Chain A
Amino acid sequence: MTDSILYSALLLASLGVTAGMVLYVVSKKFQVYENPIIGTIEDILPAANCAGCGSPGCKAFAEKLVGSEDISDLFCPVGGNEVMREVAEILGKEVVEKDPLLAVVRCQGACDVRPRTTEYQGPKSCAISSLIYSGETDCQYGCLGDGDCVAVCKFDAMYMDEETGLPVVITDKCTSCGMCAEACPRDIIEMRPKHKRDLKIFVGCLNEDKGGIARKACSVACIGCSKCLDACPKEAITMKNNLAYIDPAYCTLCRKCVPVCPTDSIIETNFPKKKIKKVEVDKGMEVKSVNLVNHA
């Protein structure tokens, strides 16, 4: 009896020792030298592997940071200035500070304001449906609603609002990696600077059609009337191809452009409640702000 216990214990022990030795020898023999700084840098990086920096993952970015002489054009949008400062300190290289960005959805073509004139059948992917035609509505610039941006977001910072059929960015979770903007075949998502208290003003439309056509396709479309141009005291608004654009570099968030817009296509968020004209937009805004509060 004791013999057999002893025997099996010995057998197992010797097996373990042999295996351990083999493992040790192999790991020594095939060890690849890696600059230890790469590991240190990788530890600082957010480890989200979101590819927002342009490298396929955090490790690749760390290698790039260590490998390049000049890292002033490299930036980790998720980690932001804080992480980049730390990286710069370790590597002794210069980094450029950047303002934190936030993804905004520049389309408010919800189902009730932008009628669906056709029904798309096929894989639920904006990239695929945009290959075959301009989308279910008559607006060929707006959101397709198949959620490629939501699918690509690695931080659960986006979801599709079932009521409006549009994607919503959860501000607090957005890490400004920019993958959603890249995934959108319509370039609806723009990375805009983040303001305190999450104040935002931007034109929620990308329709370049002439006013009448744009309006017919979507009642909250920018019709290119230029009224906001005159209202803006800082000349932050430009008009190109029947479409207004508010340049965040000049915009002071004064909100003068918002009330003059006849189609309510300029979106303001998180400002103290004031003059919001139309009921439908009000509703849309409320939905958004409620969600923002929820996740705050």
Chain B
Amino acid sequence: MDTPPIVISASPHVHSDRSSKQIMYDVVVAMIPAFLVSLVVFGINALIVTATAVVSCLLFEYLIQKFLMKTEITIWDGSALITGILLAFNLPAGLPIWMIAVGSLVAIGIAKLSFGGLGFNIFNPALVGRVFLLISFPVQMTLWPTAVQNNTTLADAVTGATTLGILKEGLQFGGTMTELGTQIPSHLNLFLGITGGSLGEMSALALLLGGLYLILRKVITWHIPVVVLGTMALMTGIFWLGDPLHYANPVIHLLSGGAILGAFYMATDLVTSPVTKKGMVLFAIGIGVITVVIRLFGAYPEGISFAILIMNAFVPLINKYCKPRRFGSKIKAKIV
């Protein structure tokens, strides 16, 4: 037959223009502003860390799929790329390259592919990689090279602590906020990105810009980021109002560390977050609460990675109990 035969398929016969690949690349686009900021702040180191993470993520995915799983190679669907960038965003600049590769292997090999690949993973792969590194190499992972043009009191140090690190240390040993106030960057600097920390945590402004893009492109909804940050603000706010001397104010908490990065880019990961809006809110509240608890009372200065991973584990349960309201499950109006 010359012409191909008529196609028969079940309805619908039209499809929206969106594809999962497009969603993935939207996420990548949204991360560009934050990446640019990290380039400005950390220079070539930022590029090295990001490139290493991305390349090793893609490479491990390719190798594992080709030789271990013997399945279709899906490295171009964008998900490994995102994992790579997110992992890099969660690492300090100047981390040894081999460590980054190990983190990528854990992220892709253990957190993603061993569960069955894209769509089947329970935990956010980038965060698993990051937490693995944090626990395995605590010294290197908390060695924060300071910003190139950092003009705070830490200007002459090669490495310094993050804002949250300063707070944790200081408050633990009986310091007060008034004493520490001079050591931590101003709110404005925190917002613009002139602070210490991992690559992607620099500028709240850049992250918000990307987050806004994601919301406008309908890749994510506002529910998770707003509720995560809202819960954090509320909780830290209560403590701060009760004892402003020993607790930092909510603005510092929101702008420092990985709060915004986590809330917009990692908690919202489609695969590892709940499906319904109701579920998303519940999930986000959980993240907010756990983050603040770890930050204020835990051993680590920052807790959002752990909070997200812990709540990831609850997603199946949340999906099971947060169902959309079925149409017609309750008769609404009476016949007149």
Contacts and interface: CB of A to CB of B under 8 A. Distances in A.
Contacts of B4: 119
A121 interface: yes
A117 interface: yes
A116 B10 CA distance: 18
Interface residues of A, number: 13
B5 A132 contact: no
Nearest to A115: B1
A118 interface: yes
A122 B10 contact: yes
Interface in B1-41: 1, 4-10
B5 A121 contact: no
A133 interface: yes
Interface in A130-144: 131-133, 136
A115 B6 CA distance: 13
Contact of A122 (B5, B6, B9): B9
A119 B7 contact: yes
Contacts of A116: 5
B10 A118 contact: no
A7 interface: no
A155 interface: no
Contacts of A128: 10
Give the residue among B5, B8, B9, B10 with the most A Cβ atoms within 10 A. Answer: B8
A119 B6 contact: yes
A67 B231 CA distance: 60
Contacts of A132: 8-10
Contacts of A122: 9-10
A250 B266 CA distance: 71
Contact of B7 (A115, A121, A131): A121
Interface in B272-308: none
Nearest to B7: A119
Contacts of B1: 115
B1 to A, nearest CB: 8
A189 B5 CA distance: 28
B2 to A, nearest CB: 13
Interface string A85-119: 00000000000000000000000000000011111
B8 A133 contact: yes
A202 to B, nearest CB: 30
A119 B4 CA distance: 8
A234 B196 CA distance: 95
B30 to A, nearest CB: 34
A249 B1 CA distance: 44
Contact of B5 (A118, A131, A133): A118
A180 to B, nearest CB: 25
A136 B1 CA distance: 14
A191 to B, nearest CB: 31
Contacts of A117: 5-6
A218 B183 CA distance: 85
A62 B7 CA distance: 49
A119 B5 contact: yes
Interface in A52-97: none
Give the residue among B4, B6, B9 with the most A Cβ atoms within 10 A. Answer: B9
A26 B157 CA distance: 63
A55 B310 CA distance: 42
Nearest to B8: A118
A271 interface: no
Contacts of A119: 4-8
A116 to B, nearest CB: 6
Interface string B134-146: 0000000000000
Contacts of B8: 118-121, 132-133, 136
A133 B9 CA distance: 9
29 contacts: A115-B1, A116-B5, A117-B5, A117-B6, A118-B5, A118-B6, A118-B7, A118-B8, A119-B4, A119-B5, A119-B6, A119-B7, A119-B8, A120-B7, A120-B8, A120-B9, A121-B7, A121-B8, A121-B9, A122-B9, A122-B10, A128-B10, A131-B10, A132-B8, A132-B9, A132-B10, A133-B8, A136-B5, A136-B8
Interface of B: 1, 4-10
Q: Which 7 A-B pairs have the closest CB atoms?
A: A121-B9, A132-B10, A118-B8, A119-B5, A118-B6, A122-B9, A118-B5
Given A115-B1, A132-B10, 4 more contacts: A117-B6, A118-B6, A119-B6, A131-B10
